[in-house]
Structure 1
Amino acid sequence: MTDQDTPGRAAVLTVSDRAAAGAFVDTAGPAVASMRREAGFAAADPDV
């Protein structure tokens, strides 16, 4: 397997005081992680 055959890795970190406090549910992080996976990246679950 060459480097070109290996998918890239991606991390998604949402920086938000309100999301961290539970004032609202972060939807942007999961959406970005999903887009990265669809593009062939190995993406862990997003974190706030």
Structure 2
Amino acid sequence: MYGALWRILPGPVWLRIILLLAILAGVIFVLFTWVFPWVDGILNPIDVTVEQ
């Protein structure tokens, strides 16, 4: 999969690295903005408190 992604990116090596970093930043942004909050709403974790 990574080899296929590397081959379809245009340009020299330095440009491919910059593009991969931009894609990675975009994926992380989407995960933290929409995916993780959506999953948190579905799983609905139980609030646990520790009492002494």
| Larger helix share, 1 or 2 | 2
Taking structure 2 as the reference length, the TM-score comes to 0.36
Taking structure 1 as the reference length, the TM-score comes to 0.38
Q: Which has the higher contact order (CA 8 A, sep 6+)?
A: 1
Larger Rg: 2
| Larger strand share, 1 or 2 | 1
